[in-house]
Amino acid sequence: MSNLLTEIGKYTTLSIDTFTPDDAAPFPTIEFVNATSNQGIAFAIWKHNPSLIGTALAHLQSKGVVPSLDETFVQEIIFYATAFAGNDMLKLISGRVLAQVDPADSYNTEKVVAYALRLSSAFEDIGIPKDKFIIKIPVTYEAMLAAEILTTKHGIACLGTVVHSLVQAVLATEAKCKYISPYVDELKYALDPSTYVALPSVDANYGYVMTKEIQNYFWYHKCPTKVCIAALVGLDICLGLSGVDEMTIPPLTAKMLQDLPVPAGFEPGVSKETVVEVEKKSYIGDKDAYYAALDKIPEAKARIDFTLNTFNNFNDESKAFIKSLLLKEGVA
Ligand SMILES: O=C[C@H](O)COP(=O)(O)O
């Protein structure tokens, strides 16, 4: 039977905002193409399924790696537990699994490259080829230099994430990101969708207006980068942005859309037929111009800082949780 989720899926690629296979169970007839993770989702996975940490530990031990509480070993556990979780999700989706670099490295090109290569190695080591995963990289000037290196020199597909402005989107497509993820609703709602409070109109939603601006720019200038919207919670926003290239939908929002009928006369909120002319911009090769442009958007800067801090906190919690498991198992 037709419902709002399948209807939106006619116009927009649907992906799911989870790495927990149980979350995909309520949608047996929906084809989610990609499945995503970040440090918040990762922490939830370890808590939900701590056996993934044990699987990662056993794999590393089988390769002769000696367990310890050192930062390097705990990080290796995160790489492999992420890869094994991704492997489970790949059984339920037709596309790729996505995993994010350490947000603490976001302003350091070399560190982003090194982290992404180690994470990619873990995926490939357990049999997940390069065309089945994507590395998510927060869009800063420094990190986009890393994305370009990873794409062109290593053949690793990248998604520019934590996008809160057209300025970042322009840089990410110039850096050859395969996707970008504009954040639509406030991150606090994405982390706990049950607390969502809709604004009086979608036009009052910063992320909604920005996402339409970015999609229009990418379509008008025929950018090869796809817009894969994230931090999407509100039903009104999902309807308003239906028609974008791709949506990563949290399970709770997907369930609500699946339970709703299609309104009479439904039309997607965004369409290539209504694209308007927009001036082309360029920031690659001009770090000062990029940060000067971003400085003019305090809302974007505040949201980027808040998001990176939030993910850093989840990463710290993950590491503390993994250390406590290693101690409990008596292996470190
Ligand atoms: O869970 C948080 C948000 O949806 C952030 O987007 P993401 O899942 O693509 O990282």
Instruction: Spell out the domains of the chain, with CATH numbers in brackets.
Output: 4-328 (3.20.20.70)
Measured by CA distance, the residue closest to atom 10 of ligand 1 is 38
Ligand 1 close to Cβ of residue 34 (< 6 A): no
Of 9, 95, 97, the closest CA to residue 45 belongs to 97
Quote the ligand 1 centre to 139 CA distance (angstroms): 14
Q: What is the pLDDT of residue 1?
A: 67
Mutate to test the pocket of ligand 1, among 17, 158, 232, 312 (most ligand atoms within 8 A of CB): 17
Do the strands 179-182 and 226-229 form a parallel or antiparallel pair, or are they unpaired? parallel
pTM, two decimals, is 0.97
Measured by CA distance, the residue closest to atom 5 of ligand 1 is 231
In angstroms, the CA 321 to CA 7 distance is: 40
Measured from the Cα of 136, ligand 1's closest atom is: 10
pLDDT along the chain (332 residues), means of 10: 92 96 89 96 96 98 96 98 98 97 98 98 98 98 98 98 98 98 92 86 95 98 98 93 96 94 94 97 98 98 97 98 94 78
Mutate to test the pocket of ligand 1, among 16, 196, 248, 312 (most ligand atoms within 8 A of CB): 248
Q: Catalogue the long-range contacts made by 122-125 (C-beta closer than 8 Å, 24 or more residues apart).
A: 122/76, 122/79, 122/80, 122/82, 122/83, 123/83, 123/86, 123/99, 125/80, 125/83
Quote the ligand 1 centre to 61 CA distance (angstroms): 32
DSSP bridge pairs for 246: 13, 228
Mutate to test the pocket of ligand 1, among 82, 183, 189 (most ligand atoms within 8 A of CB): 183
Helical spans, DSSP H, in 126-258? 141-154, 166-174, 187-191, 206-220, 235-241, 251-258
Of 31, 107, 47, 60, the closest CA to residue 287 belongs to 107
